[in-house]
Amino acid sequence: MTEKQDRFSRAMEHCRREYRDTPIPPELEQGVEDAIQAGCRPRLPRRGLKRAVAAAAGLCACFVVLTSPAVAAAVDDVPVLGQLCRILTGQAYESREETSYVQVQLPEIENTGDSSLEQRVNLEISAVLNREVEESKERAREYYQAYLDTGGDPDTFQPIQIKVDYQVKSVTDQWASFVVTKTESLASAYFRQYFYNLDLETGQSLTLRDVLGPNWAAQGAAAVEEQLEQWDEEQKALLFDNVDLEALLEEKEDFYLQEDGTVVVVFDKYEIAAGAAGVLEFPIGTMPQA
């Protein structure tokens, strides 16, 4: 061992003794307990946040090298200041009947710092989509009965597939954006999408006016028309004549936010074009970020 390595080893041993012998202040224990109880809190003002981060960094520098694996695992379970909200599967199930096969995955939002927002959104998703599933199952039963009444063989009947799933579009410290989709193999007409764009600071749902400003309809219509102009003639032939895009956007709630703040508006089948065009999506602007 070189002299430099020996000095380093003695210094590290001294640090270990200091670490082991330093009593844990009761305030720290209470602070951890408060953090666990509170979870993700609303954001601090920028100046206060910088001071908090600086203080936390100073504490981490004291013991990060010496923390044992057991302590590290425990620390992983403590909510982190400024940790983003999470969207994860809150309800998942499958069910089989003679007439239908159901697969459901419903999202649940948590860690927003606003329990009323979480409760409202999670209950709404559960109520709306479970009602959709029950309506689809009843429709499948009616279809099966009609199939039998017209001479269909029950042994060759294919159960109607009903599926509910979700896709997270973006999560930042300002907003959460995700889409819940229900499909039904009986007919594409029963396809449904529910868009959730949540302002995590106010706890409210965002509208196109909120994200693009008072001129959102004209701005969005211009953006969509510019993109449609780039379509080839075969695609353009699918568009309906005399569609008032600005009027449609004034009532539009079907949109999502990408991570960089890009606002993407979604038109369902048959809304502005023939069904062969499918569901159409167009970026129409960018939401300012704080």
Contacts of 88 (CB under 8 A, 6+ apart): 107, 108, 110
Query: Which pLDDT does position 10 carry in this prediction?
Result: 54
Q: Which pTM value belongs to this model? A: 0.70
Are 138 and 121 spatial neighbours (Cβ–Cβ below 8 Å)? no
Q: How long a stretch of residues is the chain?
A: 290
Surface-to-core class of residue 120, CB atoms within 10 Å of its CB (0-12 exposed, 13-18 middle, 19+ buried): middle
Helix (H) or strand (E) holding 15: helix 3-21
The predicted pLDDT at position 189 comes to 85
* C-alpha closest to that of 248 among 272, 227, 225, 226: 272
- 124: helix, coil or strand? helix
The residue behind tokens 């159960």 is 159
CATH 1.20.120.420 fits 85-206, yes or no: no
Q: How is residue 47 written in tokens?
A: 């100046």
- pLDDT of res. 3: 54
Taking residue 4's Cβ as centre, other Cβ atoms within 10 Å add up to 8
CATH number for the region 207-290 comes to 3.90.640.20
Cβ proximity of 141 and 99 under 8 Å: yes
Residue 14's SS3 state is helix
Tens-place pLDDT, residues 97-133 = 999 999 999 999 999 999 999 999 999 999 999 999 9
Ranges of residues in the chain whose predicted pLDDT is under 50: 4-5, 8-9, 11-12, 14-82
How far CA 27 is from CA of 21, 31, 33, 57, 195, in Å, comes to 17, 6, 10, 18, 43
Q: Are 82 and 142 in contact (CB under 8 A)?
A: no
Domain boundaries, the chain: 3-76, 85-206, 207-290
